[in-house]
Amino acid sequence: MPNKKIEATENKLTVFCKGGCLGASLFRWVRRNLMPKDTPSMAKNKMRRSLVAIYDPPPSNTEVNQLWNYFKSRCAYCGVEIERKSRTGHLDHLVPSSEGGRNNIHNQALSCAHCNGDEKREEPWDSFLAKKAQSSSVYNERKTKIENWLSLAPQSIKNKELIDEAACIIKEALDNFEHAVNKMRVLRNKSTQPLYGPRLSSKNLP
Ligand SMILES: [Zn+2]
């Protein structure tokens, strides 16, 4: 939802609350105006995400805890300490997903928001690390730490054939869904046509 629309909605809600109309009617208004509707495009996105998660699941909470412990709550690149509760710690893909890197925990390094969000972008992790480390000894120490973590990832961490096959399966499922949506729309249009065609106006009468 665009920001302006959210602001307008919040303003309306504020006025509504000041008027004292709380309870069930407010809940109905919020549901009608703020809750997302079940649209085909939302369903498609959810379908895509759930299919990807079967073959390439996100790390479990236990695995994320292991990662925080391994990197000692410090950014793998710049070494800054990250307060976990601040929610500024990012999981950064070492082999990027654009190159087929998977979500396995050992393909991810703990990163501060600054390194991951603002600086590294699509840069390979080792050349980015070389820029962030203040000396060659710090660079070597952090590089070894990351490499040891990455070495525990499964062999299929970057498997083009598997990725292509998964992409085909997902495309097939989404195409089938799109086809069903189109058939439903045709059915809806048929069901809303008037029973006896357009009404004749007096002008059309002989
Ligand atoms: Zn950092």
Ion ligand 1 contact residues with beta carbon within 5 A = 75, 77-78, 112, 115
What backbone torsions phi and psi does residue 129 show, to the nearest 5 degrees? -60, -40
What pLDDT is attached to residue 155?
A: 74
What pLDDT is attached to residue 156?
A: 67
What pLDDT is attached to residue 16?
A: 46
**Kind and range of the H or E run holding 109:** strand 108-112
For residue 157, the CA-to-ligand 1 centroid distance in Å is 24
For residue 139, the CA-to-ligand 1 centroid distance in Å is 13
What pLDDT is attached to residue 90?
A: 95
Q: Mind listing the pLDDT tens digit of every residue in the chain (206 residues)?
A: 444 454 454 455 444 444 444 567 777 777 677 766 789 999 999 999 999 899 889 999 999 999 999 999 999 999 999 999 888 999 999 988 778 788 999 999 999 999 998 788 888 999 999 999 989 999 999 999 999 999 998 876 667 778 788 889 999 999 999 999 999 999 998 888 777 655 555 555 44
Q: DSSP assignment, residue 24? A: H
CB atoms < 10 A from the CB of 183, how many? 10
Burial class (CB in 10 A: 0-12, 13-18, 19+), 188: exposed
Task: Please tell me whether residue 52 adopts helix, strand or coil conformation.
Answer: helix
**Kind and range of the H or E run holding 166:** helix 160-191
For residue 114, the CA-to-ligand 1 centroid distance in Å is 6
For residue 97, the CA-to-ligand 1 centroid distance in Å is 20
What pLDDT is attached to residue 127?
A: 94
What pLDDT is attached to residue 177?
A: 97
For residue 196, the CA-to-ligand 1 centroid distance in Å is 70
Query: 3-state SS string over 139-150?
Result: HHHHHHHHHHHH
